[in-house]
Structure 1
Amino acid sequence: MKVALIGATGFVGKALLEELLARGHDVTALARHPEKLNARPGLKVLAADVQDPAQVQAAVTGSDAVVSAFNAGWANPDIYRDFIQGSRAIVSGTKAAGVRRYIVVGGAGSLYTPQGTQLVDAPDFPAAIYEGARAARDVLSELRNETSLAWTLLSPPVAFHPGSATERTGKYQVGSDTPLSTGDGPGTISAADLAVAVVDELEAPKHVGKRFTVAW
């Protein structure tokens, strides 16, 4: 497939880029700083600001799917505003380009506890990531009202972070709206295997118009 990838220089995006290229997909990576990505077979890098719908539209036109690992930056004091604005611009540009398939890597904060509340609303939710998690939750809410795109959102497990394991096993368990566990603790997975789950969904869709989650 021809896949437009957003966030290819990030923690998850790097793993997505490797998985897509390894499976033979043609990847167009949108980057504000294209010099961060080296030329490789199967990869085209375009300079684009994903906060601008017109730039997104121009960059993704002709793609079979858009895969987004967009993040406005955890240290960004305006992360909530920029996350929402960027996500809306990506959706708008994707629709304007006539691309229907849209897969997003979201957050774990919108997953539900057994009591029916979302993790992000817990009193002990980490303050350092609260605004970003709240934005990711609101992006999912907006996607659930989206009818023009064949969208899917993947929420990573609770214990997923840049310090997680790095190996690619090609295996994972699948859930829907509640967190998965790994052994006796909260679920985790490597970025490589999260990317496997995303590309599996791209190649054989099972969650169109839905959110799902994965863990080992």
Structure 2
Amino acid sequence: MKFLLLGATGATGRLFLEQATAAGHDVAAYVRDAGSLASQPRLTTAAGDVRDADALAAAMQDTDALVSTLGIGKAKDPGNLITDSTRAIVRAAERSGTKRLVIMSAFGVGESLGKANALMRFLYAGGKATFADKAAGERILTGSGLDWTLAYPVLLTNKPASGRVRATDLAEIDRLPGLPRISRADVAGFLLTTAVDGTWSRRTAVLARHPLRNGDPTP
């Protein structure tokens, strides 16, 4: 398959790129600076603004799916980046014919915030503007007719892949137990698998290393 990847220079994006190319897939990385990624087999780069629907549509030509690990880093003000870029992504996908979109978001966004326990809500308090920006973008995405998947990882770590990813539909969680974690490498693996297999279509998957359904024991 061929993927258009947003956020390729970020921590999770680089892991997705590594895993996808190692599995024999082609990746077109859409980045602000075409020289920000070292040349490697199965990777092409295109420079552009993620808010530019026309440039995104051109980059999406002949791709099977778009995968986004786009974030705002440590910036306190998201500047509507996710809202604006998601609007551009949806328009570009509709124009290019690329229907499959796999987007990494975060637990704490939208309806998931009400399912976080008190400690996690405390940890999320400093990211209200970012979460609001993500939630607004996701309303645009889920209101489209596209084949989307939202991935909501819990607390991220930089540990190696464990192969123990547990994906739980957001609708099946009443309250998140404890402080579950998942490695970025495992998240990248889930994004790749669902993009290839077409699973979790028009659903939100909460990602952790342990089961999170109601009634499951706290990890």
Query: Which TM bucket (shorter chain)?
Result: 0.7 to 0.9
Shift of 1:205: 2.2
Match of 1:41 in 2: 41
CA contact (8 A) 2:90 2:144 kept: no
SS of structure 2 residue aligned to 1:3: strand
Distance 1:120 1:47, change over 3 A: farther
Match of 2:213 in 1: none
SS of structure 2 residue aligned to 1:186: coil
Q: Which runs of 5+ in 2 are unaligned?
A: 210-219
Distance 1:125 1:170, change over 3 A: closer
Match of 1:89 in 2: 88
Distance 1:68 1:120, change over 3 A: farther
State TM-score, norm by structure 2: 0.85
Matches of 1:111 and 1:137, distance apart in 2: 5
Matches of 1:123 and 1:192, distance apart in 2: 25
Letter in 2 for 1:11: A
Moved over 4 A (4+): 118-123
The alignment of Structure 1 onto Structure 2 pairs a total of residues equal to 205
Shift of 1:191: 0.7
Match of 2:214 in 1: none
CA contact (8 A) 2:165 2:208 kept: yes
| % identical equivalent positions | 27
- Relative to its length, the structure with more helix (as a share) is 2
Q: CA RMSD in A?
A: 2.3
Shift of 1:111: 6.5
Match of 1:173 in 2: 166
Distance 1:180 1:120, change over 3 A: closer
Match of 2:141 in 1: 143
Distance 1:125 1:165, change over 3 A: closer
SS of structure 2 residue aligned to 1:167: coil
Match of 2:69 in 1: 69
Q: Which runs of 5+ in 1 are unaligned?
A: none
Letter in 1 for 2:86: S
Report the more deviating stretch, 23-32 or 169-178. 169-178
